[in-house]
A and B are shown apart, each in its own frame.
Chain A
Amino acid sequence: MSENSQAAPVTDERIKSVSNFRKSLMRPELGGICGTIIVFVFFFLTASDSGMFNSQGVMNWSVVSAQFAIIAVGACLLMIAGEFDLSVGSMIGFAGIIIALLSVTYGWPMWMAIIATFVICIAIGALNGWLVIKTGLPSFIVTLAFLFILRGLTIFAAIATTKKTIIGGVRDVAEGDWLASMFGGKVFTGFFSWLGENGYIAVFDRGSRAGQPVVDGIPMLIIWAIILIVFAHILLTKTKFGNWIFAAGGDAQAARYVGVPVNRVKILMFMFTAFCATVFAACQVMEFGSAGADRGVLKEFEAIISVVIGGALLTGGYGSVIGAALGALIFGVVQQGLFFAGVESSLFRVFLGVILLLAVILNTYIRRAITGEK
């Protein structure tokens, strides 16, 4: 700060100088960074010989973390804009069934089915947002209604058309489709073969795929997660629109008074959340080769927990995409790590509850530190 040095800074003797340590405490990502370090150290010590950190193990928890991250990014921006979406899980089930119905049952080309599903789901997201804005009701209630509406519609649509709640055969229809490979394909396969050939990662030693690496590429799911994280982080911190997201969630009325289009920002964030849920669904359908009407149950809460672990305030106006991504990473690593470490899997929920509570307490402290509240 050169301009500070020329005009002798008049310091107020009543303001305590703030140490860099305390300053660094005031970052939303702090909890996420600490949590990530603790989680990795813990599993290095307890589960490093279980295969958690070889190529398959890493791929295993990376995929799970990426799933959480995709929906957490949407939930994060929406929460910073001051709203919730509890219909994310139902939206995932709904989007999956629509893709499968249109492509398998009605024989649409896969790319058309995927695009149509995105359009429908984003429109539902817009409807969510519009209802919240128009009625002035808490988004909690409006999207809770959609949690049930969408889940019911999904099961109804699947049973009414195919008499089953699971629609299979997606893989055959998706074969060779350019858009399907954007969600179900793998990239850097050549690099992974090279790693396998040179003995850096494990290869199959027998069977029809002998000599090929066990992990043969990066799934598009992970690429989507990275793209969404980078996009949302830049949008939030480096653009005008990002400032409007903070403003809309920080104090909608104050933002309106200076001309921020708060309603538009909020509705767009509902649409973005729906987009993320649909990306999640499309990847899952392509990976499994089928769509199930019960997919995505409780995903909305997992997304919200990731975001809160990442340092966002439930009241809006504060948070970070990087934090939410770290929250998703912690989530994935712990869920899979407990499996690797041979811990009873029901304890995962105990862990979840505890870490959620700790995160919220830490966030409250951070908010007080920032705003100077007592």
Chain B
Amino acid sequence: MSNETKQPLIQMQNIEKHFGSVIALAGVSLEVYPGECHCLLGDNGAGKSTFIKTMSGVHKPTKGTILFEGEEMNFSKPRDAISAGIATVYQDLAMIPLMSVARNFFMGNEPEKKVGPFKFFDHKKANQITMEEMRTMGINLRGADQAVGTLSGGERQTVAIARAVHFGAKVLILDEPTSALGVRQTSNVLATVDKVRKKGIAVVFITHNVRHALAVGDRFTVLNRGKTLGTAVRGEVTPEELQDLMAGGQELATLEGSLGGTV
């Protein structure tokens, strides 16, 4: 992919975020191009969550600028980011288990039909679209009225991703989508990420698992203690190097040696 010819979809420039006396982000920069999967790696406490929450409008940056399609953005609430086309799928807050898949899918974006002066939730349309979208993502539902609670963790992530794509997300932020999943479910989610990327959507994939990142990522940015430790391109970096950058030190290297490179 020739990134040079394309304009980045989103540019985060020198983002700083302070919480009182704590400096959570100390100048992080990143750009994401359409159709690429940009992996954001970092250990716990590196500032990954704070960073994506700034990107998705939950936090306002203390310093720095956010350019979306070349224009400066000032998100004051998540709704602003969503309407600009930045959708975020949170690890465990994506879906409401007691509600049906269709109700979850259209939550906040309910289709309506007019009957006289009244507007009603168009359940028929909602169910039909949900079934279709799920089938393209490779999930066969028993029915769109099936409760989300009956789906597996991977399927829930997939529903959330399909939902974001259906509602026109240009940038899709995935917050550790694979961290709580089994092997099979993880590969399903990674396959979904690949499908989404091929539609030209920019994916920001947050993880602390190097192998998951390398499986789908085009570029890799490593965060450590609120700072960027550089961005690497696919094929130019080894899993070991990424792992070292994330740990930000040598201890892990020695630890890894004793564990035989299994971390």
Partner-binding segment picked from A3-11, A86-94, A119-127 = A3-11
Interface string of A250-290 (1 = CB under 8 A from B): 11011111111000000000000000000000000000000
Chain B residue with the shortest CB-CB distance to A250: B96
B 141-186 contacts with A by CB, 8 A: 142-143, 147, 149-150, 163
B132 & A251 in contact (Cβ 8 Å cutoff):
no
Give A63 to B59 CA distance when docked, in angstroms: 53
Confirm or deny: B98 has a beta carbon within 8 angstroms of a beta carbon on chain A: yes
B78 & A255 in contact (Cβ 8 Å cutoff):
no
* Residue numbers in B under 8 Å from A3 (CB-CB): 128, 131-132
A11 & B140 in contact (Cβ 8 Å cutoff):
yes
A255-B107 contact, Cβ under 8 Å, with A15-B142, A367-B98, A370-B98: yes
Interface centre among B79, B93, B108, B112 (most CB of A within 10 A): B108
Give A317 to B128 CA distance when docked, in angstroms: 24
Confirm or deny: B193 has a beta carbon within 8 angstroms of a beta carbon on chain A: no
* Residue numbers in A under 8 Å from B98 (CB-CB): 246, 250, 313, 317-318, 367, 370-371
Confirm or deny: B39 has a beta carbon within 8 angstroms of a beta carbon on chain A: no
Confirm or deny: B227 has a beta carbon within 8 angstroms of a beta carbon on chain A: no
* Residue numbers in A under 8 Å from B107 (CB-CB): 243-244, 247, 255, 258, 260
Interface centre among B96, B120, B147 (most CB of A within 10 A): B96
A372 & B150 in contact (Cβ 8 Å cutoff):
yes
Interface string of A357-374 (1 = CB under 8 A from B): 000000000010011110
Residue from A239, A257, A258, A370 within 8 A of B147 (CB atoms): A370
A 123-138 contacts with B by CB, 8 A: none
Confirm or deny: A292 has a beta carbon within 8 angstroms of a beta carbon on chain B: no
B 24-61 contacts with A by CB, 8 A: none
Confirm or deny: B82 has a beta carbon within 8 angstroms of a beta carbon on chain A: yes
A254 & B110 in contact (Cβ 8 Å cutoff):
no
Confirm or deny: B225 has a beta carbon within 8 angstroms of a beta carbon on chain A: no
Confirm or deny: A175 has a beta carbon within 8 angstroms of a beta carbon on chain B: no
Separation in Å of the A24 CB from the closest CB of chain B? 13
Residue from B93, B103, B150 within 8 A of A243 (CB atoms): B103
Known: A9-B140, A247-B99, A250-B96. 19 other contacts (CB 8 A): A10-B140, A238-B120, A238-B121, A240-B110, A240-B119, A240-B121, A243-B103, A244-B108, A251-B96, A254-B94, A255-B107, A256-B78, A259-B79, A317-B98, A318-B98, A367-B98, A370-B98, A370-B150, A372-B150
Q: List 24 A-B contacts (CB under 8 A).
A: A1-B143, A3-B132, A4-B131, A9-B140, A12-B140, A240-B119, A243-B106, A243-B110, A243-B121, A244-B108, A246-B96, A246-B99, A254-B93, A254-B94, A254-B95, A255-B107, A257-B90, A258-B108, A259-B79, A259-B108, A260-B108, A313-B98, A370-B97, A371-B147
